[in-house]
Amino acid sequence: MGQGYYRDVITELKRAGFRQIAAGKGSHEKWESPQGKWVLVPRNTKSRHTANAILKSAGLGAKF
């Protein structure tokens, strides 16, 4: 996985019903679930540990 995990994280968030609500500061995006929970996702997510932490904070559990 040379390009990083950004697309994979976004795919998992979309499957869970999250939608992008705003561009965050710098290279981050803000995503919100139907229940109102939100997470910040950096567009340059290259570490699987960071990707898993984002999914965990979204309540989805580790995938990578």
Domain-embedded: residue 63: no
CATH of the domain at 29: 3.30.920.30
Identify the pLDDT of residue 1.
41
Number of domains in the chain: 1
Identify the pLDDT of residue 24.
75
More confident residue, 2 or 50: 50
Record the pTM. 0.88
Domain that holds residue 40: 6-57
Domain-embedded: residue 13: yes
| CB neighbour list of residue 39: distance below 8 Å, 6 or more residues apart | 13, 18, 30, 31, 54, 57, 58
Domain-embedded: residue 62: no
CA distance linking residue 34 with residue 50, whole number of Å: 23
- Asked whether residue 31 carries a pLDDT value surpassing 70, the answer given is yes
